[in-house]
Amino acid sequence: MDSIHRVRQRNRLGDPLDCYRCPIATLRLSAKLEMMSLKPKMSDQLKIINVAGARPNLPKIAPLLREMRCHPEIESVLVHTGQHYDEKLSDIFFKEMCIPAPSVNLGVGSASQAAQTAEILRRIEPVLLEQRPALVLVVGDVNSTFATALAATKLGIPVAHVEAGLRSFDRSMPEEINRVLTDAISDYLFVTEEGAIENLVREGRPPSSIYFVGNVMIDSLRHFLPLAEKSRIGHELGLFEKSWRPFAVLTLHRPSNVDSIEHLDRLLSAIDAIAVQVPVIFPVHPRTWQRVTQSGTEHHRNLRFIPPVGYLDFLCLLNKASLVLTDSGGIQEETTALGVPCLTLRENTERPVTISEGTNLLVGADFEKIVTSARNVLAGKRKVGRIPPFWDGKAAQRIVEILLRLVPRRKGMASNASTQIGLGTSDALKHDSGSRSTAKKGVGKPSQLRKETARKSHL
């Protein structure tokens, strides 16, 4: 039986296709299993509950799940809160990114900020009590991120926050509140850029809990880009015949941009002026579509309104676009990684590295600035950026390596939650001699091998 079949036979912790689809992961897992004479005992396993709730979480959680399933000593459990339940906003991402079906789906659905956060808290607690994980891992900055972190912290379960430390310094954004509060109660803080380290230290987080590991969003981008390049979306939209024609991509979903019909209309009027020069493809978020239909699409005849598309189709559009206009944080990062010019339709960003080192430019909602900046890009006067450090597709490997090394295994959790409050990771590490030898003072970094690999990578 060949090595692939051996992997399929022995990997009992997840879908074997995930490792089959990734040749590097297959080799790593196969080598690991060949060296093991016995399967890990249940008591030796590291049980991690991974939580996702909205579409932006899925490209971040996918590489982490894929990496965890390549380590038999990890028992990985996926919980989906159901914060986004539209097929185009969630289900298609699961299918395209080979994310296994969640072990638990809370089915929370849409609601106000407070109601949704409260409902996630109410529904996640019994799951945590039943599963008794050694760690809860959350990603991003949505309501599911903070609500889950809060529930776990109150039960004394250590929390890892992936994409920690990002700050827009705009407390009117619900996501900013979620970021600050999640970081305040998390035990392991995994950051994507150096500015995030400064933010966390300034807020009083211990440097020993901070790890500069890179960007899991870019892990997904690099992993799936070869598949995305085979997408037929260009043919379907008339953007590709023998070659790609110039075009722009637009996304809008922030409440500050779409809740006011007048404000949205002004933004779209500026985009209309750009669409006279090149097609502007606008995959419309359901929240935005409600406002657009209220104001009337006939006012913006030059825009190409299309329904939301899947991850692979959208990645293909981003990669081939001459210009991207967005209010999304994740797209600012993806365009920087792809080297595609990006105009951010906001007054601030929580991802400043995309401006200081990447291809991103803040233009706000100013008509003249939007149009002038777009025309400059289309005329070839584009900003030249570079890919930030550790955005090399290996962030998930670094994160899992750190968790395996530092997170104590839990043999059980008291049913009385009140007895567990305050028992954080730092306390556990003090009494764990194995972990004490690996913990280092100062900001946590990848191992020397990982750092050398990152430096040698062609970013």
Place of tokens 């380590």: 71
CB neighbour list of residue 118: distance below 8 Å, 6 or more residues apart: 147
How far is the CA of 342 from the CAs of 226, 263, 458, in angstroms?
22, 21, 22
CA distance 195 to 165: 8
Please report the DSSP string for 275-296 in residue order. HTTS-EEEE--HHHHHHHHHH-
The C-alpha atoms of residue 304 and residue 312 are separated, in whole angstroms, by: 19
3 state SS for the chain = CCHHHHHHHHCCCCCHHHHHHCHHHHHHHHHHHHCCCCCCCHHHCEEEEEEECCHHHHHHHHHHHHHHCCCCCEEEEEEECCCCCCHHHCHHHHHHCCCCCCCEECCCCCCCHHHHHHHHHHHHHHHHHHHCCCEEEEECCCHHHHHHHHHHHHCCCCEEEECCCCCCCCCCCHHHHHHHHHHHHCCEEEECCHHHHHHHHHCCCCHHHEEECCCHHHHHHHHHHHHHCCCCHHHHCCCECCCECCCEEECCCCHHHHCCHHHHHHHHHHHHHHHCCCCEEEECCHHHHHHHHHHCHHHCCCEEEECCCCHHHHHHHHHHCCEEEECCHHHHHHHHHHCCCEEECCCCCCCCHHHHCCCEEECCCCHHHHHHHHHHHHCCCCCCCCCCCCCCCCHHHHHHHHHHHHCCCCCCCCCCHHHCCCCCHHHHHHCCHHHHCCCCCCCECCCHHHHHHHHHCCC
Active-site positions read 253
Paired tokens of 196: 């995030």
